[in-house]
Structure 1
């Protein structure tokens, strides 16, 4: 029986902490259990491991990599205890665009997005632009587009934490309540729809991750900029569809 939803994270702490908050208000299906584990490497490392070996099972690969850790968390152990992929209904992989890292490659990412394009099959790759801290990057509930220079991404985390660049109400995800989540969802879905559909309004349907990436490539990356978008609201819209707006 497919009674588990699997979240796979690039980072060890940040995404886990955000999900602690998110899971208070979302992904609470009575017949589903949320399993989350940290891969510990960027998306391009996953590409090298998985895309080049198309016969590799994602769950088995994750088990192999996680079992190598010197310290296994409670969440990691829950994944290791899964008996097989058939017990998982949906897989979401949360990674950063991370274009400043040494093995970053847009062509590789495009191939990964083509492979991981269905949460109920191989899994759905959910990209934060430029990184997970983009969830903080808004000053209010006004859904305006924000761009950031690619050449300055190494300092992006500190930039978002500086006064004036993001409202303090979004800084501590441990304090996110449903109202804050509603604002984050509203702003990021507007931003994504503006990028893909060129209309600053809520999307009428869940936006494809490939479409978002292709729009970044066409509109902003050539000019060394990136449009700020968090992956978590996009994932929730994909999971719930229009019913997401009834929950917020």
Structure 2
């Protein structure tokens, strides 16, 4: 999995992979951090049943709060409230906003207002990333002219593509890609089992890193 840096990271995922790679990124950030995580959904992608199946341990889920907006006004309100909630609770390990453009493409609001609210939503997630210096993972429903402001606001743009050996993350500039896959039984499928296995390994890596930091430097006699 890619190591995310603070700032807005736009992740475009192949349709047949669904939201699972983004959920895996969310869990990986929680495993490697100390703060809570927040997931704001605007495209009916917040599947907590799948999230629980992916998690290496149930205790990881205690640090994730999930909210879903069903209209454009609800969605912008949730993002505004999120910023205030983070100010009260301290810095999170990560924030995920799936389908950021979804609620602003509906027919219930005028086009001009929809565009204004979409820009406001982008500004809210950018502020969270800037003020708290944390990764904010966002996805979009479609790549088109309407979603272009989100692409411009993103510090990092990742793509997750299906390959014969499993999903592969790469950045749009071609400077980062995950190339190493274990090709034994069970690893060549782009399924829930694949991501669960990846997260188990990542959890062990994070735990080892935490123990190493806790031990501190070894003095020389």
TM-score w.r.t. length of structure 1: 0.34
| TM-score, structure 2 normalization | 0.37
For CA contacts below 8 A with separation 6 or more, give which structure has more relative contact order. 2
